[in-house]
Amino acid sequence: MKRAIGALSALLLYVAFPALAQATEDVSFDLYYGTGNNLYIEMDSEPGAIIFFTLGINGQGYPADPTHDGSTPGYGTSRYYGMVPISYGSTFYFAAVAWTESGGDSNVTYCEQHNPNW
């Protein structure tokens, strides 16, 4: 009986406060130095998550938030497949969201990275 009440309470909490439900983990950004003057941004989230991102370059500032329909990126949005190179002397602005079928969207996270190597 206690187990049934606990399960019912959890269901009611989920229905009443969906924001408290477990969502997909936010995207994290890591900077990697390659050979010479190469810099790369790597994005990561929980295993199985698909990451979508938008990009602004050199003075454009942060781009619009990424959009998608399930695993398909929306207009102006890219699906992340691997490290993104940052051009010499450029500043890249990223907006990224991770998505899983079970958890939905993560919060949108932002990153600004400058490559001072020229």
- In tens, the pLDDT along 19-71 reads 555 699 999 999 998 777 789 999 999 999 999 999 999 888 899 999 999 99
Contact (CB, 8 A) for 86 and 56: no
Which positions ≥6 away from 11 have C-beta within 8 Å?
none
CA 73 to mean position of chain CA atoms: 12
3 falls in which pLDDT band (50, 70, 90)? very low
Whole-number average pLDDT of the chain: 84
- Which ranges in the chain belong to alpha helices (H)? 2-16
Domain ranges (residues) in the chain = 22-114
* Burial tier of 41 (Cβ tally within 10 Å: 0-12, 13-18, 19+): buried
Q: Which fold has domain 22-114?
A: Immunoglobulin-like (2.60.40)
- Whether this prediction's pTM lies above 0.85 is answered by no
The pLDDT value recorded for residue 116 is 80
